[in-house]
A = this chain, B = another copy of it.
């Protein structure tokens, strides 16, 4: 196909495209290779096996997601602002680059079980950032949670749940996607904030 960009990148690119377009079950080494115009076994020059290829794909996406979140968090000042920036960063990434976000969870259960733990830890950069932000919020008495680490994990989980329902089109057709998202995220966020005024 393209002579310029290295084969390894072409493989990753094509895989991601395939995965997102045709779904995970119809992603085969031979098809990837075919699309690129190369023999199937060439892939094994760059990846140990299909698992390794998928893991690399995940890793890439996780990295990009992390960067996106960190970037969003940077330009915020004050814990509440940063708190919201992180969450919105997550959601925005999921919807702006669904083909990358989806990879992280699409492959999940099967390949993920074999995903090396130490690589998974990479995703924790954002986790630490969120924890730090929460702790900061607690210190300034604007966020109220018992265990920041638990809360942070819970937030990721909830966010993923909400986002994936929308992305996988499992949402009731009577419900507006944007509204659902806004409302859900809002609920997640507000639950952790110290309420300012109560009527």
Contact = CB atoms under 8 A, between A and B. Distances in A.
Interface of A: 23-25, 105-106, 108-113, 120, 124, 127, 146-147, 149-151, 153-154, 156-162, 164-165, 168, 170-172, 174-175, 179-180, 183-184, 187-188, 190-192, 195, 198
A150 B168 contact: no
22 contacts: A23-B113, A24-B110, A108-B109, A108-B168, A109-B168, A124-B172, A150-B179, A150-B180, A150-B183, A151-B183, A153-B165, A154-B162, A154-B187, A157-B158, A157-B184, A158-B158, A158-B184, A160-B161, A161-B164, A187-B191, A191-B191, A198-B198
Contact of A153 (B112, B175, B191, B195): B175
Contacts of A175: 149-150, 153
A108 B105 CA distance: 10
Given A154-B187, A175-B149, A183-B150, A170 B120 contact: yes
B149 A172 contact: yes
A83 to B, nearest CB: 15
A84 to B, nearest CB: 16
B162 A158 contact: yes
Contacts of A120: 170
A157 B106 CA distance: 16
Contacts of A198: 195, 198
Contact of A147 (B113, B170, B171, B183): B183
**Most-contacted residue by chain B among A149, A156, A157, A162 (CB, 10 A):** A157
